[in-house]
């Protein structure tokens, strides 16, 4: 089947993109309201975009009634947010945080999670999250009914057991984020496998990548 996206109605584009572009990582995004409440909302239009500068991106659309979500209002005002990664232990609480609560609810506590102050930004991160990234807004790209938020990571917290003994690489046995598939379907990352370029093909590489980038990381 061929599908022309230039003539396709928006709900169909949403269905096809979210059904087939996956699994998508989930950021449980923490922000602070003007009255000081801790807001948290999952976002799967999310990814890391670069490491120099260290950028993450969030795609956040307005609610059905056209209002901006609390996350966007808070990010516009404070210029700060925290990305908490989500594993199986956090899955139920993550779904609670996806409910459209009023902005005077402390959503982290309501979901049964523990807020702790961030180091460099004015927002609470989630103690139970395996790792969290404190971010400052780099820029906000405006689109009709939605925004793309680009954030620069200024601080990372990672639970010790999610790192190898040297504290450099991830421990894949203990860090297993969940990701979103289609509709209400998710996937765990507990069936990982290694895939290396065959040695026979290495002479064809045009350039050697510096050890600090992709080739050296797992
Ligand atoms: C797994 C998951 C991923 C989601 N991803 C997004 C997303 O990328 N962008 C978005 O606008 N809403 C997304 N949502 C919906 C928001 O989490 C939801 O609208 C939430 O109520 C927003 O909260 P807020 O008003 O506190 O910002 C997602 C929901 C779930 C369950």
For the segment 85-103, what is each residue's pLDDT rounded down to a tens digit? 999 999 999 999 999 999 9
**Could you tell me the pLDDT band of residue 199, with boundaries at 50, 70 and 90?**
very high
117-122, long-range: CB within 8 Å, 24+ apart, which pairs?
Answer: 118/82, 118/155, 119/155, 119/157, 120/154, 120/155, 121/78, 121/80, 121/81, 121/82, 121/154, 121/155, 122/32, 122/78, 122/80
- Closest residue by CA, ligand 1 atom 4: 43
Task: Check whether 213 has a pLDDT greater than 90.
Answer: no
What is the arrangement of strands in the sheet containing 186-187, beginning at the earlier edge strand?
Answer: 24-25, 179-180, 186-187
Residue-wise pLDDT tens digits, 115-152: 999 999 999 999 999 999 999 999 999 999 999 999 99
User: Which of 21, 44, 90, 178 most suits a substitution to test ligand 1, by most atoms within 8 Å of the C-beta?
Assistant: 44
For ligand 1, whether the C-beta of 60 sits within 6 Å is yes
Per-residue model confidence (pLDDT) at position 72: 98
Tens-digit pLDDT profile for residues 172-182: 999 999 999 99
Confidence of residue 205 (pLDDT cuts 50, 70, 90): confident
pLDDT tens track for 17-60: 999 999 999 999 999 999 999 999 999 999 999 999 999 999 99
Integer-rounded Cα Rg, in Å, for the chain is 19
C-alpha–C-alpha distance, residues 112 and 148, integer Å: 29
- Ligand 1, atom 18, residue with closest C-alpha: 98
Query: In CATH, what class is 10-192?
Result: mainly beta
Q: Where are the domains of the chain?
A: 10-192
Q: How far is the CA of 215 from the centre of ligand 1 (A)?
A: 33
State whether the beta carbon of 38 lies less than 6 angstroms from ligand 1: no
Q: Measured in angstroms, how far is the CA atom of residue 95 from the centroid of ligand 1?
A: 9
189 Cα to the center of ligand 1, angstroms = 21
Q: Looking at the predicted structure, is the pLDDT value of residue 208 above 70?
A: no
> Which pTM value belongs to this model?
0.94
Strands 124-126, 115-117: pairing is antiparallel
Q: Is 59 in the pocket of ligand 1 (CB under 6 A)?
A: yes
pLDDT tens per residue, range 48-68? 999 999 999 999 999 999 999
| Three-state DSSP class for residue 75 | helix
Binned at pLDDT 50, 70 and 90, residue 218 comes out as low
Atom of ligand 1 nearest to the CA of 180: 1
Atom of ligand 1 nearest to the CA of 94: 31
pLDDT computed for residue 206 by the predictor: 82
CA distances from 217 to 95, 173, 209 (A): 31, 17, 11
136, 80 contact by CB (below 8 A): yes
Q: How many angstroms separate the alpha carbon of residue 142 from the centre of ligand 1?
A: 18
Pairing type for strands 27-32 and 80-85 reads: antiparallel
What tokens appear for 37 in the block? 């409440």
Asked if pLDDT for residue 209 goes beyond 70, the answer is no
The response to whether residue 149 sits with its C-beta less than 6 Å from ligand 1 reads no
Alpha helices (runs of H) in the chain, residue ranges in sequence order = 10-20, 70-78, 91-97, 107-110
């Amino acid at each position: 089947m061929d599908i022309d996206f230039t003539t396709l109605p928006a709900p169909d584009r949403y269905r096809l993109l979210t059904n087939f572009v996956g699994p998508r990582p989930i950021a449980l995004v923490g922000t602070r309201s003007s009255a000081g409440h801790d807001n948290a909302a999952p976002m799967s239009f999310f990814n890391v975009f670069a490491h120099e500068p260290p950028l993450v991106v969030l795609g956040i659309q307005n609610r059905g009634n056209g209002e901006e979500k609390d996350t966007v209002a808070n990010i516009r005002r404070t210029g700060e947010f925290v990305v908490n990664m989500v594993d199986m232990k956090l899955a139920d609480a993550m779904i609670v945080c996806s409910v459209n609560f009023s902005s005077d609810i402390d959503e982290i506590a309501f979901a049964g999670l523990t807020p702790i102050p961030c180091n460099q930004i004015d927002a609470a991160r989630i103690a139970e999250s395996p790792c969290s990234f404190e971010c400052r807004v780099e820029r906000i790209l405006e689109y009709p009914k939605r925004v793309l938020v680009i954030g620069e990571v200024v601080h990372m917290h990672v639970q010790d057991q999610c790192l190898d003994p040297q504290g450099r690489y991830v421990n894949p046995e203990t860090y297993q984020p969940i990701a979103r598939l289609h509709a209400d379907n998710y996937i765990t990352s507990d069936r990982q496998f290694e895939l290396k370029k065959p040695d026979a093909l290495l002479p064809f590489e045009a350039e050697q990548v510096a050890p600090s980038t992709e080739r050296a990381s797992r």
